[in-house]
Amino acid sequence: MSLKVCKFGGTSMADGNIILCAAKIVEADEARRYVVVSAPGKRFSGDIKVTDLLYQASAQQEAGDIHGFEDTFEKISARFLSIEREIGKNLGVQAALDEMKAAMLGGAGQDYCVSRGEFVAAHIMAAVLDVPFVDATEFVRFNEDGTLSEETFDLAAKVLKKYPRAVVPGFYGLGFDGKVKTFSRGGGDISGAIVARGVMADLYENWTDVSGFYACDPRIVNSPKCIGELSYQELRELSYMGANVLHSESIFPVRSAGIPIRICNTFRPQDEGTYIVATSSREVGDGVVTGVAGKKDFTVIFLEKSMMNSEIGFVGKVLSVIEKHGVSFEHLPSGIDTMSLVIDNEYLKNGILEKLVAEMKEAVNPDKIYIHEDIALVATVGHGMARNIGTSARLFKALSEAGVNVRMIDQGSSELNIIVGVENEDCASCIRAIYHEFFEN
């Protein structure tokens, strides 16, 4: 029999009725033996996620704002108690809330506090399904530098082997110091992937509130096409560029084990969704481009020096300047006598940009060095690009017809993507023009 791990995101856990729908989905297929859950998310636009309330309560507790804390904790309690009422069973929520509050007031720390959303949600799901709760702290381990420890996968296999079925809370594990530690926001997807890898699932189903991965951001193009199949690499490129159906780090645990991911919609379980697989089964001519995504707020540092190509160590010296300041770069397009460094604006605050420029001048004495700020990167992604001639010609023609000024071009060596840098304000029209060219023509 095949084995599936289901991860339900915040919107699939947002109220009692949708939790019951999620439980029905699990029960509809015997292969769905392991379930990973997020904390209750938004029920409607303008609603507040339980995790956000927990961050707020923790900050208020730390600041000694006890009235504020009580107020926020009241909201958290109301969310969980109404879920229990909607489910119509005593699930022990009040006792869990009392314990949580005492720990928070006792100074349990931020990570512990914010992890309690998934902790209680997983207890609720376990009670609804009548399946054991297994805490993520039993197997998810972090290194001292905060990265996921490799021992996690063996531990997950060992712990989960004892349970033919289990419900596991997402988003956290045990830190190097033996205390609860969380992933970055949205990290429940990573937990799901860890469980899938631990039990060597045949499929990792990620249940969310959309019917799959769209070929572009639906806030930019109305009802974009849903992608039926996507390779891990394409997904990595698109989610790194801001297409955020899945946490971008959630691919790694399953990718190395070749476990496919399916993105599916808890609100429309009949939809096929998107399959994310190791090797795409698409053929030549099946669709050149898989998706297009963009991310704003980059800075390009452009350097020019004649005979740069023959000056040994030029690039190394430039890179050691940014390394010294702990700055990483996203792209490094280069010409014979030119090179550009594309850097996320986040790294360049508080005078760092000016320092980098001064130190680069000192290190390599360029003929010219200048800065383009407020650049957006737009990635056009698809394995089909390597197999079909004329993709870039179509892309650049479409951009020129849409009046988008291209400031930088970088084609990944794998021919999996073409990245263009445009002004921030042109980002949406750039994405629209590319989508129109490859998906609506």
d(CA 11, CA 51): 12
Query: Exposure of 270 by Cβ count < 10 A (0-12 exposed, 13-18 middle, 19+ buried)?
Result: exposed
- Distance (Å, rounded) from C-alpha 434 to C-alpha 159? 47
- CB 42 to ligand ASP: min, Å: 10
Q: Which stretch binds ligand ASP (CB under 6 A): 127-135, 185-193, 348-356, 386-394?
A: 185-193
Please give the structure tokens belonging to residue 34. Answer: 């392991």
Q: Would you state the structure tokens that stand for residue 355, as one six-digit string?
A: 């320092």
Q: Is 95 left (phi over 0), alpha (psi -120 to 50) or beta?
A: alpha
**Contact track, ligand ASP, 99-128, x by CB under 6 A:** ------------------x-----------
Residue 253 touching ligand ASP (CB under 6 A): no
| End-to-end Cα separation, the chain, in angstroms | 43
Residue 18 interacts with ligand ASP (CB under 6 A): yes or no: no
Instruction: Identify the residue among 173, 175, 186, 382 touching ligand ASP (CB under 6 A).
Output: 186
Q: Is 170 in the site for ligand ASP (CB under 6 A)?
A: yes
Return the number of the residue (187 or 260) whose C-beta is nearest ligand ASP. Answer: 187
175 binds ligand ASP (CB under 6 A): no
Comparing CB distances to ligand ASP, the nearer of 135 and 189 is 189
CB 67 to ligand ASP: min, Å: 25
Cβ contacts of 388 within 8 Å, gap of 6 or more = 284, 285, 288
Strands 417-423 and 166-169, sheet pairing: unpaired
CB of 290 to ligand ASP, least distance (A): 25
Q: Check binding of 282 to ligand ASP (CB under 6 A).
A: no
- Could you tell me the two tokens for 404? 């988008």
Among 19, 23, 39, 379, binds ligand ASP (CB under 6 A): 39
Sign for the pseudo-dihedral over CA of 239, 242, 246, 247: positive
Q: Which amino acid does the sequence have at 177?
A: D
Which of 10, 198, 260, 294 is close enough to bind ligand ASP by CB under 6 A? 10
Strand-pair category, 213-214 with 261-265:
unpaired
As measured in angstroms, the least distance from the Cβ of 174 to ligand ASP is 17
> Judged by CB, which is closer to ligand ASP: 48, or 402?
48
Residue bearing tokens 């991965």: 213
Least separation in angstroms between residue 9's CB and ligand ASP is 6
Q: Least Å distance between CB 363 and ligand ASP?
A: 40
* Residue in the structure block whose two tokens are 């994310």: 276
Task: Give the nearest distance from C-beta 261 to ligand ASP in angstroms.
Answer: 15
Q: Residues in the site for ligand ASP, rule: CB under 6 A?
A: 9-10, 38-39, 49, 51, 117, 170-171, 185-189
